Amino acid sequence: MSINTASIYPLLRPGVKAVIGNYDTYPDQWKKVFKTYTSDKKIEFEDEFKSLGIAQVKNEGAAIAQDTMTVRYQTSYLHTTYGLSFSITDEAMKDNLYKSQFPQHLISLRNSLRAAKSQVAANVFNLGNVTLTSDGVPFFSNAHPLDNGGTNSNLSNVALSEVGIQNAIVAIQQFKQLSGILTQTMPQTLVVGPANQFAASVILNSQYRTSINTNADNNQFAGVNDTNAIYNDSYLPGGYTVNNYITSPTFAAIVTDAERGLIHYERDKLEAWSWVDNATRDMWFAAKERYSFGVTNWRCAYAISM
């Protein structure tokens, strides 16, 4: 339904001091952890192959062990178009005395599309323990399969804490490739929702340990001056970032430097346009863009808590 004079009646008479409704929105927080690539196709494919395994002992007179390399998994990125439009009658356009304050169509459309994009990106984390990746298990799982029958884990699901982060860092450093060989994967940035931002700040910005320990002598201050290894040894060089579109109050994950991890494909850039309906003379405004978000390499993140 078009915006008409009845829906903006207060704006048809003088004396209105201000018109509000378009508020500041959060910036593109997803850009801090997703890497953007351009695409000129409907769908993009990314493959993961199994490389050679660890070398084996060659006994005297025996043949050298053989291994092979082969593509194991394929991730697809199907680009989706997101858009929004609205219309306003010719009479409402002409009779509106506050055109500079309403409808501010470009700001409103930009905010709508930005909110949609931020939510789609955050859902990679929000649904991380539900949405399956190419290896047949969720993005965050303790059962990512290896070719030798073993598994990898990038999920602990414990409360965010100094110890929880330490254990996650150790687990990240033990990530394996499909053949079972250790990968040199390093932690970079802690991603949290708004509910965990204060805990993240305390843990990562404290030079000393963030919890007071007790010992057999019941000394409540034991260990209070111990250094915070995460802080002092810069285990998370990217610090922490807050994503306000994360829905879980407990979510916390460490993003790593693994290649082809959190991916954003830009198919069509944001485009806005307007036109006049010849029959009704209503003015129409619209905007759209086309993109996809996803994850190719699950080693790009470790979920401390979902």
Predicted confidence pLDDT, tens digits, the chain (306 residues): 777 667 665 766 776 656 666 778 889 999 999 999 999 999 999 998 888 888 889 898 899 988 888 888 899 999 999 999 988 888 877 777 656 666 777 788 899 999 999 999 999 999 999 999 999 999 999 999 999 889 999 999 899 999 999 999 999 999 999 999 999 999 999 999 999 999 999 999 988 877 644 444 454 544 566 788 898 889 999 999 999 999 999 999 999 999 999 999 999 999 999 899 999 988 898 999 999 999 999 999 999 999
- What pLDDT was estimated at residue 216? 46
Spatial contact of 152 and 146, defined as CB atoms under 8 Å apart: yes
Would you state the pLDDT for residue 232? 86
pLDDT of amino acid 211: 63
Q: Which two tokens stand for residue 202?
A: 């305390």
Instruction: Look at residues 261, 24, 272 and name the one whose alpha carbon lies nearest to residue 133.
Output: 261
Q: Where are the beta strands (DSSP E) in the chain?
A: 35-38, 43-50, 70-78, 80-88, 144-145, 151-152, 187-192, 240-242, 252-256, 262-276, 283-295, 301-305
- What's the pLDDT at 298? 96
* Global model pTM greater than 0.85: yes
What pLDDT score was predicted for residue 214? 42
Alpha-carbon span 2 to 231, nearest angstrom: 56
Return the pLDDT at 19: 64
Collect contacts of 267-271 with beta carbons under 8 A, ≥24 apart: 267/38, 267/39, 267/40, 267/41, 267/79, 267/291, 267/292, 268/79, 268/81, 270/110, 270/113
What does the angle CA 23 – CA 26 – CA 31 come to, to the nearest 5 degrees?
A: 150
DSSP string, 249-266: TT-EEEEE--TT-EEEEE
